[in-house]
Amino acid sequence: MSRSSRTRVLAHARVRAALVAALLAPLAACSSSPSPGAPDTGVTPTFADRPVTVTVTPKGDQVPAGEPVRVTASGGTLTSVTVADAEGHKLAGKVAADGRSWVSDRRSVPGAAYEVTAATRTEGGTAKSTKAAFTTAPADKVNKVDWRPGAGATVGIAQPISLVFDNPVRNRAAVEKQLKLTTSNNTEGSWGWISDWSGKDRVDWRPRTYWKPGTRVTLTAELNGTDSGADGGWFVRDYTTAFTIGARQIVKVDLDNHRLTLVRDGETVRRIPVSGGTPGGDKRSWRGTAVLMAKEGTINMNSETVGLGDAYDKMVDHSMRLTWSGMYAHAAPWNARYFGNANQSSGCIGMSDADAAWFYGQVRAGDPFEITGKDTKGVVAPGNGFGAWNLSWTEWQGKSALR
């Protein structure tokens, strides 16, 4: 090779080296090499991996109760949320499908201190836990509930579930939504709002037809944190009861023929001669379907308590309450000559000591008394004991606040 040829080759090599160096220089400038003095961790940082912002509602001290707790996340997702009061009671809830929000299933309750713990994950995958806290204002007035039947009871086929409230309930739909009823055989039924004989607000649940024997019933009234509305106050606890339906027993009372018949599973068990309320005045009996409210045994019956003056004041055996207004089935030996012949009581259904003792041992609370007769005070009202059965199914459904 001539000298001139070697000079041209070396020149071309120097040009190629300069070109390669020029091409590599921008790549080095865009690389993620650590700055001078910074430790090399071997992890390439992600500039989008910013902290998640968590927002909790409500927030602050003495906030109004009765609202669900809401938690939202921006710049990342929620993986779990826990809301608990100072006693460890939790408000359950579920994270939304997109991971951006969570809402409690239950409302916050009055006079509670809540701590919220939200577990989050950034868009870059970093996990973190955030805490927040708030307190609710105490209830200025509390509403309470009296209910029937009691837990663990075995009752008759006409027994309703009945809740009587200490104070008025104006937010009836909100309250009714919190009443969760389950049965072992999906019994059809409905809640209905009525006025109790005492004048208090009351809500009952009755099946469309009489209960099927053996049905197991559970009521969970998740009322804690529900506002009654107006001047009724707050509910500050939950209520629950469970009971079982007993044998199919129906008591048929024919006032015109002065007979009581106990029917069990469609078969007549026994017919008993009775005397009902005296015709033509305030001492007449009620007709329609009454439900045995309670077996009260030996009690004092005083006519003044039911507006009949001083007609009677005596101890009465084997007393079985049928209405709040004072109609009972009971032993009435002083009326022996009228049993099976005439109605001459002060409104009750009287029978002999022996028949009353036997009958008392056969029936249970919740058994229906289907009473017929031409000369009566009228039909048992829904709130006068358990008279809901005297309304048609459509009429009863119409008393629900959710229809």
- What are the residues facing 218 on neighbouring strands? 182, 242
274 and 372 housed in the same domain: yes
- SS3 state of residue 397: helix
Percent of all residues in the chain with a pLDDT value above 70, rounded to a whole number? 87
- Residues with Cβ within 8 Å of residue 287, at least 6 apart in sequence: 255, 371, 372, 373, 376, 377, 378, 379, 380
Q: 89-106: b or e for each residue (b if 16 or more CB lie within 10 Å)?
A: eebebebeeeeebbbbeb
Q: What is the CATH number of the domain that holds 297?
A: 2.40.440.10
174 and 81 housed in the same domain: no
216 and 258 housed in the same domain: no
Give the per-residue pLDDT at 48.
Answer: 58
Q: How confident is the model at residue 8 (pLDDT cuts 50, 70, 90)?
A: very low
238 and 262 housed in the same domain: no
Which one of 136, 167, 185 terminates a domain? 136
What is the C-alpha separation between 217 and 149, in angstroms, rounded? 11
91 and 193 housed in the same domain: no
pLDDT above 90 (res 46) = no
Would you say residue 278 lies in a domain? yes
Would you say residue 370 lies in a domain? yes
What is the C-alpha separation between 52 and 157, in angstroms, rounded? 58
331 and 263 housed in the same domain: yes
pLDDT in tens, 246-264: 999 999 999 999 999 999 9
Q: How far is CA 239 from the centre of its chain?
A: 8
Would you say residue 35 lies in a domain? no
* Active site annotation includes 89: no
Give the per-residue pLDDT at 305.
Answer: 74
351 and 336 housed in the same domain: yes
* Active site annotation includes 348: yes
Q: What share of the chain is helix, strand, coil (3-state, %, to 5)?
A: 15, 40, 45
Average pLDDT over residues 320-338: 97
- Residues with Cβ within 8 Å of residue 20, at least 6 apart in sequence: none
Would you say residue 1 lies in a domain? no
Give the per-residue pLDDT at 22.
Answer: 41
Give the per-residue pLDDT at 144.
Answer: 97
59 and 118 housed in the same domain: yes
Q: What is the number of H-type helices and E-type strands within the chain?
A: 4, 25
Q: Which amino acid is at 306?
A: V
Give the per-residue pLDDT at 241.
Answer: 95
pLDDT in tens, 187-212: 999 999 999 999 999 999 999 999 99
278 and 347 housed in the same domain: yes
Question: pTM of whole model > 0.85?
Answer: no
Residue among 234, 166, 227 at smallest CA distance from 199: 166
Q: How far apart are the first and last CA of the chain?
A: 107
The number of folded domains in the chain is: 3
242 and 255 housed in the same domain: no
Residue among 198, 189, 206 at smallest CA distance from 165: 198
Would you say residue 11 lies in a domain? no
CB 230 within 8 A of CB 262: no
60 and 172 housed in the same domain: no
Which one of 190, 221, 246 terminates a domain? 246
Q: How confident is the model at residue 302 (pLDDT cuts 50, 70, 90)?
A: confident
Per annotation, catalytic residue among 12, 30, 89, 348 = 348
Would you say residue 267 lies in a domain? yes
- Residues spanned by the domain of 360: 249-383
pLDDT in tens, 76-97: 999 999 999 999 999 999 999 9
Q: What is the CATH number of the domain that holds 114?
A: 2.60.40.3780
Would you say residue 187 lies in a domain? yes
